[in-house]
Amino acid sequence: MSPRALIFDVDGTLADTEELHRQAFNEAFFACGVDWRWGPALYADLLQITGGKERIAEYISRQQMPAAERGRLLRLIPQLHTAKTGIYRELVALGHLRPRAGVVRLMKEARAAGLKLAIASTTSPENVESLLASSFGRDVPHWFSAIATGDVVPKKKPAPDIYNLALEKLAIEPERAIAFEDSAIGVRAAKAAGLFTVATPSLWTIGQDFTSADLVLTSLADPDKPLYATDELRIGAKYLGLQQLTVLHCAAVRQMPAVQACVPLAGGVA
């Protein structure tokens, strides 16, 4: 059973966005009169929490303060997050972010073979739109058959809800899709939804536990930006192409009970 869709996480997976997010949080705190500053180490720790508003709430929960002040700050979270989102979009619009190696190439290969593309991310829709338009190209948002983002599901990653929604929008079975993630939390969400999952850790997540991922690579890589030797030996190629990805996916799917046999790609999908 060959794949019919590729589903991508956004932050850290499509592009290394987390440093811009960190800067945007700090600028939003200053703009809203809150005396906080998240350094890289603290922010890397807070990335264990999915969702910007949830990260702010987690940070507040760690601080010693009177109950009245805690309540005031908790009520301030929507304002802080709105300010942060606006600042982040302004930073992205400057055009400093670039897609991670291999992302655009693999998307183009998938589209040429008739596969659908989708996004499953609990970042805000505004963040996704600004990243795709500013760093990938104005037409790229139209490449996606399904975009599942934001607070539209009951539970965020590591719950599988956002992936289940993407699969529902695509109208395909989990074994027909492949997920791409950069964090352990994201991998857990994708696997809980029943997806073959490729992990490409970013600088912010490289030390996390990716043992549940089906494949872990430093990046998807490109012909001019090949994989490291250890990754190349793992997949037998200098970069992860659609044909190689299909072979790996089919090998994994064969282990699933009551699943049809795989059919290799040959200019299309089974």
CATH at 30: 1.10.150.240
Contacts of 164 (CB under 8 A, 6+ apart): 153, 193
- Shared domain for 85 and 117, answered yes or no, is no
157-180: per-residue pLDDT in tens? 999 999 999 999 999 999 999 999
183-196: per-residue pLDDT in tens? 999 999 999 999 99
- Shared domain for 46 and 121, answered yes or no, is no
pLDDT computed for residue 266 by the predictor = 42
- Shared domain for 60 and 136, answered yes or no, is no
Does the active-site annotation cover 139? Answer: no
Structural domain contains residue 264: no
Does the active-site annotation cover 11? Answer: yes
For range 103-122, the mean pLDDT:
97
- Shared domain for 105 and 57, answered yes or no, is no
- Shared domain for 204 and 107, answered yes or no, is yes
For range 226-248, the mean pLDDT:
95
- pLDDT confidence tier of residue 208, bands split at 50, 70 and 90: very high
Structural domain contains residue 70: yes
- Overall pTM surpassing 0.85 (yes/no): yes
User: What domain count does the chain have?
Assistant: 2
Asked whether the beta carbons of 117 and 5 are under 8 A apart, the reply is yes
Task: Given the residues 11, 161, 182, 222, select the one marked as catalytic.
Answer: 11
116-to-59, 156, 172, 194 alpha-carbon distances in Å: 38, 23, 10, 18
pLDDT computed for residue 189 by the predictor = 98
**The sheet that has 5-8: what strands, in order across it?**
144-149, 116-121, 5-8, 177-181, 196-199, 215-216
Structural domain contains residue 62: yes
Select from 46, 78, 93 the last residue of a domain. 93
- Shared domain for 10 and 27, answered yes or no, is no
Select from 34, 61, 93 the last residue of a domain. 93
Torsion region of 89: left, alpha or beta (phi above 0 gives left; psi -120 to 50 gives alpha): alpha
60-91: per-residue pLDDT in tens? 999 999 999 999 999 999 999 999 999 999 99
Asked whether the beta carbons of 187 and 210 are under 8 A apart, the reply is yes
CATH number for the domain that contains residue 237 = 3.40.50.1000
- Shared domain for 147 and 229, answered yes or no, is yes
- Shared domain for 88 and 120, answered yes or no, is no
Structural domain contains residue 36: yes
List the domain range (segments joined by +) for residue 57. 18-93
